[in-house]
Amino acid sequence: MRSTDEQLREIMRRKDEVIEKRSIRRHLHAYALAACACILLLVMTAVSLPKITTDSVDHATRQYGSLLLAAPYMGYVVVGVLTFALGICATLFCIRWKELEQKEREKE
């Protein structure tokens, strides 16, 4: 039979475990949502790119401030930069996920 102090410590330990697991789950959901948002942004940009570059090349001479419209290849540069950023986000997500799994294995 455990004493009251031991029971209280065990209850507090379990509470901390549950709170930490919920926090990890929330963070993983947030990371996954951010990765999905990046992918969606990239796909939307890639799909709309041909329309942006072909429809507006004629109007590029009048719109001096638009970098995307000034040259048809600049849109592809933007998609490349977005893809690179998405790769960085995915890599960081995987590294964080691996760290959390290792932390869980160490606790067990």
Q: Does the reported pTM lie above 0.85?
A: no
pLDDT in tens, 13-33: 999 889 988 888 888 888 788
pLDDT in tens, 37-50: 878 877 887 777 76
CA 89/CA 76 separation, integer angstroms: 20
pLDDT in tens, 47-102: 777 666 555 555 555 555 555 555 666 667 777 887 888 888 888 888 888 888 88
Amino acid at 23: S
